[in-house]
Amino acid sequence: MGRNGIVLQALTTRQSTHPRLVTEPAPSEADLDTIFRAAMAAPDHGALRPWRFLVIEGAGLSKLGSLFAEAHHQREPDATEEALKSSEAKALRAPMIIAVYAHLRDTPKVPHEEQVIACGCAMQLMLLAAEALGYGATILTGLNMHSEAVHEGLGLASNERLVGLIYIGTPQSEQRRQKPRPEPSEFVRRWPPVA
């Protein structure tokens, strides 16, 4: 299979690996460097490079879990201890989390939404690189992405927005159930419509 075939196969067969299906080891420093180099290839109108990354592992995961529990408590002051512990445990499901956030700039040519999309593109390239290196990864979001407690706890500035969390580790099994793919034609139409 030629280079183009390998690239197309990677693009069309990529799938996320749920955090419960990954374990140690997390990516090495060399592999992390490759993953971040892939992110730098994302489309980036105006060369603003809005993406920023926080690598969280070890004791940092427990601290992130505490932020998740605090955010949950702020949303639901009457939440049970069990519910708060469940929120806290969400940060401990993989050996490494890469928090991706947008460093937003006010510029007339590139609205904030477009800068966030650039971060999303960077995240997708990171997933592809992680899979090529033999890691399993997924992007998770949720209510914590919008939590003031989480933003402040991670040290984000007022012009920065959390976009997603990449949970990453080594797959526990080579056997992953292939996700069914829809037919692209179900999502495509031509404009203007053909009479």
Of 144, 153, 141, 164, which Cα lies nearest the Cα of 76? 144
- How buried is residue 22: exposed, middle or buried, by Cβ count under 10 Å (0-12/13-18/19+)? buried
Q: Kindly report, residue by residue over 83-105, the tens digit of the pLDDT.
A: 999 999 999 999 999 999 999 99
Q: Say how far apart CA 127 and CA 14 lie, in whole Å.
A: 8
User: What pLDDT, on the 0 to 100 scale, is given for residue 9?
Assistant: 84
- Does residue 14 register a pLDDT over 90? no
Both structure tokens of 2: 């030629």
Query: 122 or 10: whose pLDDT is higher?
Result: 122
Give domain limits for the chain.
Answer: 18-171
Q: Kindly report, residue by residue over 92-138, the tens digit of the pLDDT.
A: 999 999 999 999 999 999 999 999 999 999 999 999 999 999 999 99
Q: Say how far apart CA 179 and CA 184 lie, in whole Å.
A: 15
User: What pLDDT, on the 0 to 100 scale, is given for residue 13?
Assistant: 85
User: What pLDDT, on the 0 to 100 scale, is given for residue 176?
Assistant: 66
User: What CATH number belongs to 18-171?
Assistant: 3.40.109.10
User: What pLDDT, on the 0 to 100 scale, is given for residue 2?
Assistant: 76
Of 125, 146, 115, 138, which Cα lies nearest the Cα of 50? 115
Q: Kindly report, residue by residue over 58-79, the tens digit of the pLDDT.
A: 999 999 999 999 999 999 999 9
For the chain, percent of residues with pLDDT exceeding 90: 85
Average pLDDT, the chain: 94
User: What pLDDT, on the 0 to 100 scale, is given for residue 114?
Assistant: 97
Place of tokens 């069990």: 82
Q: Kindly report, residue by residue over 165-183, the tens digit of the pLDDT.
A: 999 999 997 666 778 889 9
